[in-house]
A and B are shown apart, each in its own frame.
Chain A
């Protein structure tokens, strides 16, 4: 049959949606066809996640139509969308911390025995099966509490895949994943496409979009800009349509003078997590920690900062040892940490934007112990402008911001403390191209002013573009230390997967 005659399993026509005065969607149309992977790209706050939530039945559109197999349908609640065969991976993982991983995946639709009780054995096996497909090693019986952001993302992916949906929507599923995990997901996605499912993929990483997707829809400010087959597009065109201007250099790393050694980490070990990690960072230097998900990168910087304990080793800042397990002492010594999980560790979701952005600097901004509202607001506004923050009002709660914009608030919160050593964990997770360049420029400038930066990133181009030195971790150990000129995709990936020893470079 001619595919044009079969109505697409899911289509949106002229959908509008406002939140108070914020017009998140202004007449967006989108068609998801069977056997096709469709990409949607747009700046932070362009309305992508809002559209996803309309498809999922979380938000009801103010106007426009949702068509399922060509028929107008109303999704009053997420169940309705699920019944229509739609599975969604939300941008922010929504897991049940007290339930096991397997239960998280199958909640509400656990396999049952003839007596209608839950068939735990089968649930476990099914979980293991989907994990094998995704190449994940996770105990199905462990509770979801305490999973890293990447692992949460993987559980969400597994959840959506086991729904065997006709329409699979993925809102930045790879934002916290490194190339290897992402590639596994793509293999599965391609299999699904070939078996006739319709997929929607949202990402700020263009390499992924171009290698995976068949068509690309660009949205800007809640409105449709264009939709073309991938083969007729290139990255520059897409970026121009998305941002509305040319984004010249994506990674404007400036060379900085390297000064004294500011941070020394020696033989840091935490049993079962990482072992014998040693490195030094000098003022003005950006050191990247690369590796696969679960290699222990975040754990290392959390331990150095004092959020987690460690069993052996020492940390020195400007020659003075830092007591283990005391974040406050680290902050006093001029160390800052931008954490990986913005919702759990970075932000107070119900608090206002300005409150969040200035939360780390209550002291300098107050007089006689009273917080000065004006100063707080001015400072928040200044950072908002520097990072292109898109928001309704500074007093709105952070939870109303789009994912990428929340990330910007976390960055503002820590960058504004003017630290001596900065740890950033996935600094640009969920941040769009334009702002990504801005964040990179900012980091680069800060380094130029003598800041020592340690960056954890799963995005290889970011690592290669920004870092003066790359430390590659594999299963809790540093397997390679590469200078800027020896680090390339190949050398980093080999070290990250533990394939060849460090002389690979």
Chain B
């Protein structure tokens, strides 16, 4: 032995001179609170500027506007956490929205819930296909989903053949979904909130949810720990697809008119929302609460700019600046955490 085996124990109780702290969880919450605060300040300031912003109609619009984007952002967060990305969500959402509409046209007698479910299923299938391509072909998700972005969109164009589905083709019960409110909260928004809460709970409290973080954090280690990484990733893609499908259904219910271009360009907004909300592109970090809040922030900005009479052209610049700020902030916090953590390691004795 290179140590006297009667290892002296007495000293170990002495308080080591170190800064204690639990930066990890605290910091993450800090991030979500930050986004929430930004939303609150923006809404408050805009309201001061023009109280019409918070008229009941204004609130209603705000809720509805954020709904589709947050549902998509929640799904995207699932995928980003595993260190993948899904660029096809806009196309999947479009396909599901159009599919929902066309089902009403072709089978007018079909009950509304069945059609809605079918819309979600379309998304699920598209997402599962993405997942299987990524995990079996071992091609980076960026490339695969860039391909399916165009493939799904092309399919949609071919299916629609230049046509569109109008509101009068859809049953009133379905369209009512878009305007129905419970306690002042529009039903779609209530659905979105339920989705966020459910997925958030799943990610935090279930083994398979935590394993998504593990996979994104260190894929090799995940394999060594016996985590079925391919299956988990494929399912994350499938879930994301299903949520994109749900977003498509909600979109159809709200606007009533759908053609084959629904959701075009949506993918970048979705990724932006997730990143602003603290979900790291590099995987392993972030929550769906953050992603949803990011979506709310982006929507609020979109709604507030016209009230401030700021040219819409600035919109993209503002979003861009926000993303850079978010990434910069992350970097800064990461450095600070690293510094703190290095100080407060373990005491091996």
Which residues on A are within 8 Å of B, measured CB to CB? 56, 58, 77-79, 82, 90, 94-100, 103, 107-110, 112, 116-118, 135-139, 141-143, 145-148, 150-151, 154, 177-184, 205, 207-208, 211, 270-275, 292-294, 299, 308-309, 459-461, 474-477, 489-490, 493-494, 497-499
Contact = CB atoms under 8 A, between A and B. Distances in A.
A137 B7 contact: no
B221 A135 contact: no
Q: Looking at chain A's contact residues, is the secondary structure mostly helix, strand, loop, or mixed? A: loop
Contacts of A145: 337-338, 341
Interface in B269-318: 284-285
B173 to A, nearest CB: 35
B213 A96 contact: yes
A460 B2 contact: yes
Contact of A460 (B3, B225, B338): B3
A492 B341 CA distance: 28
Nearest to A82: B226
Contact of A476 (B16, B222, B341): B16
B322 to A, nearest CB: 23
B57 interface: no
A78 B349 contact: no
User: Which one of B338, B342, B348 has the highest number of Cβ atoms from chain A below 10 Å of its Cβ?
Assistant: B348
A136 B347 contact: yes
Contact of B3 (A141, A143, A154, A493): A493
Given A78-B223, A99-B214, 12 more contacts: A79-B226, A99-B213, A108-B226, A135-B349, A136-B346, A142-B344, A146-B345, A151-B348, A179-B3, A182-B2, A211-B5, A475-B16
A94 B8 contact: no
A112 B341 CA distance: 29
6 contacts: A77-B226, A184-B7, A271-B17, A299-B343, A461-B2, A498-B14
Contacts of B339: 308-309
A22 B155 CA distance: 50
A259 B8 CA distance: 38
Contacts of B23: 142
A357 B348 CA distance: 32
A441 B17 CA distance: 37
B345 A147 contact: yes
A108 B14 CA distance: 35
A179 B14 contact: no
Contacts, number: 209
Given A183-B7, A476-B16, A107 B225 contact: yes
Contacts of B210: 99, 103, 107, 110, 118
Contacts of B349: 135, 180-181, 292-294, 497
Contacts of B1: 179, 182-183, 207-208, 211
Given A90-B224, A94-B220, A489 B207 contact: no
B106 interface: no
A151 B24 contact: no
User: Which one of B17, B337, B344 has the highest number of Cβ atoms from chain A below 10 Å of its Cβ?
Assistant: B17
A303 to B, nearest CB: 10
B115 to A, nearest CB: 32
Nearest to B22: A141
Nearest first, the 3 closest Cβ-Cβ pairs linking A and B are A179-B3, A146-B341, A293-B348
Contact of B217 (A99, A138, A299): A99
B210 to A, nearest CB: 6
Nearest to A275: B17
Contacts of B207: 108-110, 112, 118
A182 B3 contact: yes
B17 A475 contact: yes
A148 B347 CA distance: 11
B245 interface: no
Interface string B135-163: 00000000000000000000000000000
Contact of B221 (A94, A180, A275, A459): A94
B3 A135 contact: no
B2 A499 contact: no
B259 interface: no
A273 B345 CA distance: 9
Contact of A96 (B2, B8, B221): B221
Contacts of B16: 137, 294, 475-476
B348 A178 contact: yes
B12 interface: yes
A118 B220 contact: no
